[in-house]
Amino acid sequence: MNELAELMKQSRGEAGLLLPSGKGTAEALLPTPHIVNHAPSMIELQNGDLLMVWFAGDTEEGRSDIRIVMSRLPKGGLRWSDPVPISDDPVRSEQNPVLFQMKDGRLLLLHTAQAPREDKKERYNPATNVDAATRQETSEIRSRVSEDNGHTWGPTQVFSGTPGSFCRAPIEVLSNGDWIFPMWISRRDGQTVFGNDTSLVRISADEGRTWTEYPIPGSRGRVHPNIIEWGEGRLSAFFRSRSADWIYVSRSADYGRTWSEPERTTLPNNNASIRAIKLQSGRLAVIYNHFQAGDDPNATVWPKTRYPVSIALSEDEGRTWPYIRQLEQGDGFAGEANRHHNRTYEYPWILQARDGLLHAAYAYGNRGSMKHVVLSEEWIIG
């Protein structure tokens, strides 16, 4: 695309800028002073700025020092700003931020806030590779509003106080004007393994003043729902699977009031986050880690493999995927003795800007930074 070619032409090689990759994309590693950086999401504001939010800290996920931070790429600019904190609870672990801009310009931040991890020494249960003391079942979803495109923020409020409330995808505006917000309830399954989670949607017919919840039946272990509207009231939700088997899909024909039970697609899933969006071309794009570790839909599986980062395109609403391209191949170490050298590239996000360019982001290299990649739909197909 001409826009991508111009962007690559403008890049001069300065540190911290979007740089040409030499393979048809432009890339940037965002500056961060933090040791842990995870779960990015992005939005293009009405003024053309790109914002990226993620959770960050200096210990590890689930600790009380984990905060939501934000970086900005001004419209027409090539340099991401240093991240600034935009959440402030010193006794909760704040995670999984998403942004939504209302038609009046106000910017809504939604994120989770959970009690900090209980243990002080052990990070993982060796038998399951699951955080031995995660407190996701204590989480609530909180919100803040900015009236100046994210430069300052209003007070924190509780958006969903149901224990275990979690989110990963933003509010979508449907063709009838409804706001729909996908989320799930995180529950302990035994002492350590989270697999008993179930998903739901919240719908508001009055632009967020009141909300009604609608469960997604048969969604045990199907989380991180991403909502796509294909026609008037005809929706799809694409899910992460706790079984580390496949990406799943559920469908609705009544603006999200009722849903089919999730069914597997032909795309693999590694029990890690995905992002699904409808492109301007009408195609469906899903960004994900192309890896699976099981085929039992009732199991809970936690593989360590969170690579490669792949983008798949569908022309029939997610039934087939004729185009799949790797965006980040990973480190490529093979064999059991060397497998631990492979770093993670995880929780990918994708959006399409108004100019048609695609912007991807993911936690890079064992969560050491955030990576931003600019690409085109034609690059994926090619």
Task: Give the position of tokens 């493999």.
Answer: 305
Domain that holds residue 230: 2-381
CA angle 25, 29, 31 (to 5 degrees): 150
**pLDDT exceeds 60 at position 141:** yes
Q: What is the pLDDT of residue 6?
A: 54
Give the containing element (helix H, strand E) for 69: strand 67-73
Across all residues in the chain, what is the average pLDDT?
A: 92
Asked if pLDDT for residue 119 goes beyond 70, the answer is: no
| Cα 36 off chain centre by | 16
d(Cα 375, Cα 272) in Å, to the nearest integer? 23
Cα 24 to the center of its chain, rounded Å: 24
CA 307 to chain centre: 15
> d(Cα 231, Cα 225) in Å, to the nearest integer?
18
pLDDT in tens, 17-59: 898 988 899 999 999 999 999 999 999 999 999 999 999 999 9
pLDDT at 194: 85
Amino acid, single-letter form, for residue 372: H
pLDDT tens for each residue of 120-139 = 544 544 444 445 557 899 99
Half-sphere exposure of 295 (CA within 13 A, CB side): 1
* Whether pLDDT at 348 is above 80: yes
Maximum alpha-carbon separation in the chain:
56
Give the DSSP letter string of 27-45: EEEPP---SEEEEEEEEE-
pLDDT at 22: 85
CA-to-CA dists, residue 318 to 180, 261, 275, angstroms = 20, 16, 13
9, pLDDT greater than 50 = no
pLDDT digits (tens, 9 = 90+) for 284-328: 999 999 999 999 999 999 998 999 999 999 999 999 999 999 999
Q: How does pLDDT run across 264-286, given as a tens digit for each residue?
A: 999 999 999 999 999 999 999 99
Contact between residue 255 and residue 203 where contact means Cβ atoms under 8 Å apart: yes
pLDDT above 60: residue 219: yes
Task: Determine the pLDDT at residue 294.
Answer: 93
Task: Identify the CA nearest to 69 among candidates 122, 22, 32.
Answer: 32
| Cα–Cα distance for residue pair 179/183, rounded to 1 Å | 13
Task: Give the separation between CA 129 and CA 351, rounded to whole angstroms.
Answer: 31
Report whether 239 contacts 200 (CB < 8 A): no
pLDDT at 188: 83
- List the 157-160 sheet strands across, edge first: 93-101, 107-114, 140-146, 157-160
CATH of the domain at 190: 2.120.10.10
How many domains does one find in the chain? Answer: 1
66 pLDDT above the threshold of 80: yes
Please, which residues bridge with residue 375 across strands? Answer: 358
pLDDT category at 16 given cuts 50, 70, 90 is low
**Whether the predicted pLDDT of 210 surpasses 50:** yes
- Rounded distance between C-alpha atoms, residue 257 and residue 252, angstroms: 7
Residue 40 near residue 52, CB atoms below 8 Å: yes
3-class DSSP assignment, residue 7: helix
Query: Which pLDDT does position 17 carry in this prediction?
Result: 82
Position 126 scores a pLDDT of 45
CA distance linking residue 44 with residue 180, whole number of Å: 19
Percent of the chain exceeding pLDDT 70 equals: 91
